[in-house]
Chain A
């Protein structure tokens, strides 16, 4: 039974919570506002809040000068591709670990997770050289491969925790009903695991979209996703706040919007399935 709380206390909490929420969100809000200002208004002292001349000019300039759309597509392909590929590899593995546990299943899972502990910088040199020799530097396919591998342990882990929640009896029932392994996974397991899979996919798209070690070190211009595109603003364009803001807004908007529309799955996904 939820206890009723006095309205007065609820109001106080409301003020506090909103103040903190807005404070945390403020840098993003400020960036979005600035992206609609002229450069002069962007650095005005005292700062202007809403009563400035709204303009879309910065967005046009960014697209024109650095071909935002290409980098956007790179990000989409790299994050979507690596997530899809990871899912194809991880679903069977997670099925095996969740429903046919062996004595060493826990160890395998822990080992997979421990590959995430491997500092990327420890293998930066060889991967860089391998990519150079294989002609994978600055290609989308190269980044898809790397991001699939670095996020695979997380996908397996998350799917495993979601699959664990599905009673094994249902899969056994399917087996008794004459389902092959393939139909068991496609007709019974997958539809039941849709919410968990959605969370997994969302989180991995975000992680891949925002990954900024390999994308910065393995790309130059052609395959650069938005992370690398933005990094090129560190100087001297960084001093043009309005354009920087426009570019930033465009880089984070897709994920921000996706995140807001799928909040429920995402919140579950953000906890990596580890906390219920």
Chain B
């Protein structure tokens, strides 16, 4: 079981408050992603849950039990680190066995779990190698293996994919999602990459400067961002945010419109603009269009291939239904 509750958890380093009092509940079996720009406190939050840092005040409960003052070893959580943190002097087998050895599990039980984990993670042929002889992806799997065998209440992942190259990252993303479906164990996953958050999470927690900006399912966040920050952070390419006279027409201080919700035409429309750089991805084409009076160029998505060149004049029309409106505090206007 792995229901984790944070109750007014606060963390300061010296005089600096990195996490202001914060409440959060993570349900058993949930895949929760903490996402935010670097320095937003997401890793600190994870380390507080892990017990690698003390909370300054507040309470952390794991399965209704107060774990605030428990050392990391006693919390029944397993962690996969950004650098994998494999023990370089031990073979893969010994690395995976280490937590079980520390827990004093009988040898045959250890062997059984190692075999099972190795099989699940395609590591059977590498059990006697040292971490230094493995590729990045394999090391990542060893780190996961070391976490699995403990049968923890929850897995903690601290930016586990950021040291892998792009292609491998997509593969590992799927593997971790697959693992979650199979084990149905709580997972808390920290990343700065909103694509990882969108593709993997049951629940996303968007953090900024230690504050929770919004909690919700990926699509909730995508369709109804609570404020300008979430609107700008979730989604790729980013939502176009427009303020000034054009926003006031819609009764808002800032309006946001996603690239796919802008119609593009060579004949007529609401805004007249000039095509800048275009990015051809095959399935989609993204145009950067400069519209007079709207500040930053707008990003527009067009399906498939559209033959517009640098410097062409186009007309853009936002889809009113999908327009996001925000007030002076940056909050969503329902």
A and B, direct touch (CB closer than 8 Å): yes
What CA separation (Å) do A220 and B77 show in the bound complex?
Answer: 62
> Is B89 a contact of A191 with CB atoms below 8 Å?
yes
Given known A-B contacts A169-B81, A177-B73, A178-B103, A192 and B52 have beta carbons under 8 A apart: no
B89 contacts across to A, CB distance below 8 A: 191-192, 194
Say if the beta carbon of B82 comes within 8 Å of chain A.
yes
Given known A-B contacts A172-B52, A173-B79, A179 and B85 have beta carbons under 8 A apart: no
Say if the beta carbon of B102 comes within 8 Å of chain A.
yes
Say if the beta carbon of A10 comes within 8 Å of chain B.
no
What CA separation (Å) do A183 and B255 show in the bound complex?
Answer: 57
Complex interface residues of chain A between 167 and 182 (CB less than 8 A to chain B): 167, 169-170, 172-180
> Is A174 a contact of B82 with CB atoms below 8 Å?
no
Complex interface residues of chain B between 47 and 63 (CB less than 8 A to chain A): 50, 52
What CA separation (Å) do A188 and B101 show in the bound complex?
Answer: 13
B52 contacts across to A, CB distance below 8 A: 172, 175-176
Identify the B interface with A (CB < 8 A).
Answer: 50, 52, 71-73, 77-79, 81-83, 85-90, 98-99, 102-103, 146, 150
A188 contacts across to B, CB distance below 8 A: 87
Complex interface residues of chain A between 147 and 204 (CB less than 8 A to chain B): 167, 169-170, 172-180, 183, 187-188, 191-192, 194
> Is B81 a contact of A175 with CB atoms below 8 Å?
no
- Determine which of A173, A179, A183, A194 lies in contact with B81 in the assembled complex, contact meaning CB atoms within 8 Å: A173
Interface centre among B50, B73, B82, B150 (most CB of A within 10 A): B73
> Is B77 a contact of A183 with CB atoms below 8 Å?
no
Given known A-B contacts A169-B81, A169-B82, A176 and B50 have beta carbons under 8 A apart: yes
* Additional A-B contact list (6), CB under 8 Å, known A175-B73, A176-B72: A167-B83, A173-B86, A176-B73, A177-B98, A183-B102, A191-B87
**24 pairs from A and B in contact (CB 8 Å cutoff):** A167-B85, A169-B85, A170-B85, A170-B86, A170-B87, A170-B88, A172-B52, A172-B81, A172-B85, A173-B146, A175-B72, A176-B77, A176-B79, A177-B78, A177-B99, A178-B73, A178-B99, A178-B150, A179-B73, A179-B102, A180-B73, A183-B102, A191-B90, A192-B89
A174 contacts across to B, CB distance below 8 A: 87, 98
- Determine which of A172, A175, A192 lies in contact with B87 in the assembled complex, contact meaning CB atoms within 8 Å: A192
The chain A residue sitting closest to B87, CB to CB, is A188
B77 contacts across to A, CB distance below 8 A: 176
Given known A-B contacts A175-B71, A177-B73, A192 and B98 have beta carbons under 8 A apart: no
A169 contacts across to B, CB distance below 8 A: 81-83, 85
The chain B residue sitting closest to A181, CB to CB, is B71
The A contact surface, by secondary structure, is helix
B146 contacts across to A, CB distance below 8 A: 173, 177
Interface size class of A (residues with CB under 8 A): 10 to 19
What CA separation (Å) do A48 and B103 show in the bound complex?
Answer: 71
What CA separation (Å) do A167 and B78 show in the bound complex?
Answer: 18
Expressed in whole angstroms, the minimum distance between the Cβ of B144 and any Cβ of chain A is 12
* 6 pairs of A and B residues whose beta carbons are closest in the complex: A177-B99, A173-B85, A178-B102, A178-B73, A169-B85, A191-B89
Expressed in whole angstroms, the minimum distance between the Cβ of A154 and any Cβ of chain B is 26
A187 contacts across to B, CB distance below 8 A: 98
B79 contacts across to A, CB distance below 8 A: 172-173, 176
> Is B87 a contact of A176 with CB atoms below 8 Å?
no
> Is B81 a contact of A192 with CB atoms below 8 Å?
no
A191 contacts across to B, CB distance below 8 A: 87, 89-90
The chain A residue sitting closest to B78, CB to CB, is A176
B83 contacts across to A, CB distance below 8 A: 167, 169
What CA separation (Å) do A192 and B79 show in the bound complex?
Answer: 21
What CA separation (Å) do A194 and B52 show in the bound complex?
Answer: 26
Expressed in whole angstroms, the minimum distance between the Cβ of B110 and any Cβ of chain A is 13
